[in-house]
Amino acid sequence: MDSPTFNQLKTLLGEVYDLNGALSVLGWDQQTYMPPGGSEERGAAMATISRIMHLKITSDELQKCLMDCESQLSGLDPDSDEARLVKVTRREVNRRIRIPADWVAEFAEATSIGQEKWEEAKGTSNFLRFQPYLERIMELRREYASFFQPYDHIYDPMLDEFEPGLKTADVQQIFSVLRDKQVQLIHELKSRPQVESAFLRQFFPENSQWDFGVDVITNMGFDWNRGRQDNSAHPFTTTFGMGDVRITTRVIPDNLGSALFSTIHEGGHALYEQGFSPSLLRTPLATGASMAVHESQSRMWENLVGRSKSFWSFYYPKLQQLFPTQLGNVSMEMFYKGINRVEPSLIRTESDEATYNLHIMLRLEIEIALLERNVDVRDLPDLWRTRMQEYLGVSPHDDAHGVLQDIHWAGGLIGYFPTYALGNVISAQFWEKIKKDIPDLDEQIAHGQFRNLLEWLRGKIHVHGAKFETQELVQKVTGSKIDPGPYLTYLNTKFREVYS
Amino acid sequence: MDSPTFNQLKTLLGEVYDLNGALSVLGWDQQTYMPPGGSEERGAAMATISRIMHLKITSDELQKCLMDCESQLSGLDPDSDEARLVKVTRREVNRRIRIPADWVAEFAEATSIGQEKWEEAKGTSNFLRFQPYLERIMELRREYASFFQPYDHIYDPMLDEFEPGLKTADVQQIFSVLRDKQVQLIHELKSRPQVESAFLRQFFPENSQWDFGVDVITNMGFDWNRGRQDNSAHPFTTTFGMGDVRITTRVIPDNLGSALFSTIHEGGHALYEQGFSPSLLRTPLATGASMAVHESQSRMWENLVGRSKSFWSFYYPKLQQLFPTQLGNVSMEMFYKGINRVEPSLIRTESDEATYNLHIMLRLEIEIALLERNVDVRDLPDLWRTRMQEYLGVSPHDDAHGVLQDIHWAGGLIGYFPTYALGNVISAQFWEKIKKDIPDLDEQIAHGQFRNLLEWLRGKIHVHGAKFETQELVQKVTGSKIDPGPYLTYLNTKFREVYS
């Protein structure tokens, strides 16, 4: 390819990358350190930068440059960084040119304020304080869908933002397989004696919890020279650049699992973001392939690694040493079963692997109903309670433990939730392959050694960044497309053993 | 004024304000929480945003809109927000159109990296690690000066960035008066018995120091709903918007004065930034009149309030209670004298009021010599030692306590230092007026009451934001222009009493 043209494209995309990184800094600060008074001006600043970024991506200058590059693609390896950069840029430009810049700015402002209001509403468990802001966000999201008409499904444009190439119908098909089999498994487990887990609900000092999580992700390979961890109401990972990937957690003194597994989860995201090829620096390829692939990494570390017997055969003695009075009388076997207790519960992020996907399905259903105007925002608290009862047989006593539990809608992330369940599915597909490639992986993990695992993930997945779409990448790595089979096998095997 | 045109101007300036706020967030994070690996991409992001901001200020759209507004100024109160907004915007546009956007981006990147390198260099007291970066910054600053040719003095364009309207010759004249009188005072004090201050160098736990500082600035009126305090290598104040004004401090366990007075100093800056009229929101008037006026606020709170007898007659019993073993045997009188001990010393930020301005004069002289190429960057460590010996009779044993002590040059702030000394001068002029308007101010302070003082500052100074230039504002408030007289009177009276 003619290198001046391509270099110009990289320069233009570098500026977009910079603006995107700045937006991430503003968002991170908003959720970690910003005083309440900063809310309004922060919303304005994020709106302005979002608008400028959008105008840059859709500028005549960038489009012309992109077309010049496209005309020079022939002869280039279609999997090369160059060819993929052009392809991914085209996909994003085509999506963006349908969206007016004013919408982008309004959406940025609405979601910035939305997250503030959500936090207030959640803190007081008062949905009414959040309702008008969520109404505005849903209105904007319906408007967003309208930019992409005609579509097969109103949810398709939402999904496409997080899962390029995937359709709502695909997700629904995968989910229907999962739903039947998972409900069946849960039903089966219910008939067996419940495992003990009350010991996780003792008092565990915050500092010790924090330090233990830090030890674990350090050992996983988190690079503190290129990242940090802070507190926030809702744990998240954010990337300012390949040299600065940040995670957050929240430590709950009487819940040992909460911070620990969220730290491992976000650590999994962060390892992905810290692992892109340096050749992708300051390009749109320096990001995850999709949110489902991202979740495959975070959920893999959290569950397939972090809730495994091998993991705890290494870490449990250390945890007992840290909390001798709380865990001294709890055996490793009891602990392992306790952190894998299956029980329909209220909070998605703290739910077990067997019920987790049902939380997602409920959210998908509600998101579609909201977009199709089959339900009003004001009716959400009731709807939430009804559906939780149907799906999981439990119902929240307040909205903080119900419809207000997740920050996603406040941040405008409609279409994001399915990626968690898809991530679970994909993580098990990857895991099958990893176990073939590293036969003694369990033993390595049982010695606290994650290097080979991380190297495998780096080489097969991380290094590519966003070069490949989800189905393409899953096919490339595992030889088949997204397939719920391995995840269901994993669930059935694991939980029949836990509940044996 | 035709309101659509004026509203358009405000919209355009609002975007500039947003970008400037975002830059402040990036800069704050860089100095407080950023991991080392984030340095390079942060520099790129700050460069991109600086360039975009510059292009917005100098855009045809803004210039046309500004001209339209200017043509409608007649009949408008020249002191109105509208008229002043147009005037201040014109000043900034005229300055900016001389500067190429590439220079702006390069300067942002060079100073972003410069600050990182300065921190490393200071940490290891190794000037060589900073030298090439400072050379680059000085080169860019000389280039900056060249955009403003012809000028009376190469330093004029530097000064003008922080002190619009003031000339190098004005500063030099004020400084020559100060120098003679201050050297004379120092000489006189030297002949008297030195006061005791070793008790300030005991071990004071960091948390307690932090908490005491927080108590003081809370009482001063710092609004925590619209601000916060964090740690950084070099204390500073930064503003993301009128609702989010942040200060930083650094706590040194064996130096009680350091964090305390820096917190009060930055608190003084922050009170100014939190006090602008809400009508100035998201406009370029929502900032300080100049850095000298800003320093008049910070230095007033730090010294005229924070090192006064009345202040400590209220706070000293509390401080003694907090540090009973360290201060139990130190009388209030001893303490007051101790924090006002005059002694030529190495570190500007910790120097006493009598010698402080000499530190500034040395820096001004060096900055001019660098710009005029009368000295090379590589010769700075030696030059620093020589000049410190001449000016203050002391010389640093390493560069961390010498030429590397301040972050300013690393951040490209050439022309900034004089504003500290001017701030001292102006603070005393304001103080004379305040004491006339609030005759029992000392008594109020001795009761820990700062409300009337803050209200006076808010009404006379803060509320105006950047509507008036320094000389204009000083004249408006005190009836005369910048005049070293009151400051010299203050110094002589205070220190002859301390050393009586």
Residue of B nearest to A15 (CA): B48
Task: Show which residues on chain B lie within 8 Å of chain A, measured between beta carbons.
Answer: 14-15, 18-19, 21-22, 25-26, 29, 33-42, 44-45, 47-49, 52, 223-228, 230, 240-244, 281-282
Residue of A nearest to B56 (CA): A52
Q: Is the dihedral of CA B43, B44, B49, B50 positive or negative?
A: positive
Domain edge (last residue) among A150, A185, A210? A150
The distance of B1 to chain A (nearest Cα, Å) reads: 26
CB contact under 8 A, B47 and A18: yes
d(CA B176, CA B110): 34
The distance of B451 to chain A (nearest Cα, Å) reads: 21
The distance of A138 to chain B (nearest Cα, Å) reads: 26
- Which residues in chain A are contacts of B47 at CB distance < 8 A? 18
What three-state secondary structure class fits B227? strand
Residue A395 has pLDDT above 90, yes or no: yes
Neighbouring residues of B138: CB distance < 8 A, sequence distance ≥ 6: B370, B371, B377, B414
Do B98 and B11 belong together in one domain? Answer: yes
Distances (CA, A) of A46 to A25, A27, A39: 10, 8, 11
d(CA A452, CA A430): 14
CB contact under 8 A, A223 and B37: yes
Count CB pairs under 8 A between chains A and B: 129
d(CA A227, CA A456): 21
* HSE (side-chain half, CA atoms, 13 Å) at A360: 28
Do A133 and A213 belong together in one domain? Answer: no
Residue among B25, B34, B243 whose CB faces A39 most closely: B243
The distance of B240 to chain A (nearest Cα, Å) reads: 8
pLDDT of residue B3: 86
Kindly calculate the radius of gyration of chain A based on its CA atoms and give it in whole angstroms: 22
Do A115 and A178 belong together in one domain? Answer: no
User: How large is the average pLDDT for residues A352-367?
Assistant: 97
Neighbouring residues of B10: CB distance < 8 A, sequence distance ≥ 6: B85, B282, B283
Mind telling me the catalytic residues of B? 266
E-assigned strand segments in B110-223: none
How far is the first Cα of chain A from the last one, in angstroms, to the nearest whole number?
Answer: 61
Do B60 and B186 belong together in one domain? Answer: no
Q: What is the domain-level CATH number for residue B358?
A: 1.10.1370.30
- Which residues in chain B are contacts of A36 at CB distance < 8 A? 225
Do A310 and A434 belong together in one domain? Answer: yes
| Structure tokens that stand for A222 in this block | 């988190």
Largest interatomic CA distance in chain B: 69
Q: Which amino acid is at A357?
A: N
Residues belonging to chain A: 500
CB contact under 8 A, A37 and B243: yes
Q: Which of B17, B19, B24, B25 to mutate to test the interface with A (most CBs of A within 10 A)?
A: B25
Query: How many CB atoms neighbour CB B391 within 10 A?
Result: 17
| Own/partner long-range contacts of B130-135 (Cβ < 8 Å, ≥24 apart) | B130/B404, B130/B410, B131/B377, B131/B378, B133/B410, B134/B377, B134/B380, B134/B409, B134/B410, B135/B377, B135/B378
Does residue A400 belong to any structural domain of this protein? yes
Do B120 and B190 belong together in one domain? Answer: no
Does residue B296 belong to any structural domain of this protein? yes
- What mean pLDDT is reported for chain B? 97
Q: What is the pLDDT of residues A107-147, one digit of tens each?
A: 999 999 999 999 999 999 999 999 999 999 999 999 999 99
Helices B485-498, B418-437: crossing angle, 10 deg rounding: 80
* HSE (side-chain half, CA atoms, 13 Å) at A361: 20
pLDDT of residue B235: 95
Do A42 and A16 belong together in one domain? Answer: yes
Do A99 and A51 belong together in one domain? Answer: yes
pLDDT of residue A480: 97
CA B324 to chain centre: 34
Residue B64 has pLDDT above 80, yes or no: yes
d(CA A226, CA A244): 5
Do A250 and A392 belong together in one domain? Answer: yes
The DSSP H or E segment spanning A45 is helix A39-57
Does residue A488 belong to any structural domain of this protein? yes
d(CA A99, CA A93): 10
d(CA B255, CA A496): 63
Residue A2 has pLDDT above 80, yes or no: no
Residue of B nearest to A33 (CA): B228
Does residue A358 belong to any structural domain of this protein? yes
Neighbouring residues of A442: CB distance < 8 A, sequence distance ≥ 6: A308, A310
Residue among B15, B45, B227 whose CB faces A22 most closely: B45
Neighbouring residues of B373: CB distance < 8 A, sequence distance ≥ 6: B142
Residue A457 has pLDDT above 90, yes or no: yes
What is the total count of domains within chain B? 2
Residue among A26, A48, A241 whose CB faces B41 most closely: A241
d(CA B152, CA B163): 16
Distances (CA, A) of A244 to A33, A140, B325: 17, 31, 44
d(CA B254, CA B46): 36
Q: What is the pLDDT of residues A311-335, one digit of tens each?
A: 999 999 999 999 999 999 999 999 9
Residue of A nearest to B23 (CA): A22
Q: Which of B225, B230, B240, B246 to mutate to test the interface with A (most CBs of A within 10 A)?
A: B240
pLDDT of residue B389: 95
pLDDT band for position A497 (cuts 50, 70, 90):
very high
Q: Which of A11, A24, A25 to mutate to test the interface with B (most CBs of B within 10 A)?
A: A25
Neighbouring residues of A196: CB distance < 8 A, sequence distance ≥ 6: A334, A337, A338, A341
What three-state secondary structure class fits A150? coil
CA B401 to chain centre: 20
pLDDT of residue A3: 86
DSSP A190-233: HTSPPPP-GGGGS---HHHHHHHHHHHHHHHT--GGGEEEEE-S
Kindly calculate the radius of gyration of chain B based on its CA atoms and give it in whole angstroms: 22
Does residue B454 belong to any structural domain of this protein? yes
User: How large is the average pLDDT for residues A13-29?
Assistant: 98
| Structure tokens that stand for A435 in this block | 């176990």
Q: What is the pLDDT of residues A277-307, one digit of tens each?
A: 999 999 999 999 999 999 999 999 999 999 9
The distance of B120 to chain A (nearest Cα, Å) reads: 14
Q: What is the pLDDT of residues B23-34, one digit of tens each?
A: 999 999 999 999
Mind telling me the catalytic residues of A? 266
Does residue A163 belong to any structural domain of this protein? no
Do B326 and B217 belong together in one domain? Answer: yes
- Which residues in chain B are contacts of A37 at CB distance < 8 A? 223, 225-227, 243-244
Give this complex's ipTM.
0.95
User: How large is the average pLDDT for residues B413-419?
Assistant: 97
Residues belonging to chain B: 500
Give me the residues paired with residue A231 across strands: A249
Pairing of strands A237-241, A244-249: antiparallel
What three-state secondary structure class fits A140? helix
Residue among B18, B226, B227 whose CB faces A45 most closely: B18
Residue A499 has pLDDT above 90, yes or no: yes
Residue of A nearest to B241 (CA): A41
Domain edge (last residue) among A124, A150, A176? A150
Q: What is the pLDDT of residues B103-131, one digit of tens each?
A: 999 999 999 999 999 999 999 999 999 99
Residue of A nearest to B43 (CA): A18
The sheet with strand B227-231 has its strands ordered as B227-231, B244-249, B237-241
pLDDT band for position A212 (cuts 50, 70, 90):
very high
- What mean pLDDT is reported for chain A? 97
pLDDT of residue B410: 97
CA B177 to chain centre: 22
d(CA B50, CA B257): 36
Does residue B160 belong to any structural domain of this protein? no
| ∠ CA A69-A71-A73, rounded to 5° | 70
Neighbouring residues of A332: CB distance < 8 A, sequence distance ≥ 6: A312, A313, A316, A317
Do B303 and B423 belong together in one domain? Answer: yes
DSSP B429-481: HHHHHHHHHSTTHHHHHHTT--HHHHHHHHHHTGGGTTSS-HHHHHHHHHSS-
Q: Domain range holding A457?
A: 168-498
Do B116 and B233 belong together in one domain? Answer: no
Query: How many CB atoms neighbour CB B308 within 10 A?
Result: 18
- Which residues in chain B are contacts of A226 at CB distance < 8 A? 35, 37-38
Residue B387 has pLDDT above 90, yes or no: yes
| Structure tokens that stand for B97 in this block | 């159109």
Residue among B14, B42, B243 whose CB faces A40 most closely: B243
Residue A1 has pLDDT above 90, yes or no: no
- Which residues in chain A are contacts of B19 at CB distance < 8 A? 45, 48-49
d(CA A483, CA A474): 10
Q: What is the domain-level CATH number for residue A49?
A: 1.20.58
pLDDT of residue A324: 97
Domain edge (last residue) among A98, A118, A150? A150
d(CA A17, CA A11): 10
- Which residues in chain B are contacts of A22 at CB distance < 8 A? 22, 25-26, 45, 48-49
d(CA A429, CA A483): 7
How far is the first Cα of chain B from the last one, in angstroms, to the nearest whole number?
Answer: 61
- Which residues in chain B are contacts of A286 at CB distance < 8 A? none
Residue among A38, A228, A241 whose CB faces B241 most closely: A38
CB contact under 8 A, A48 and B282: no
Does residue A155 belong to any structural domain of this protein? no
The distance of B281 to chain A (nearest Cα, Å) reads: 9
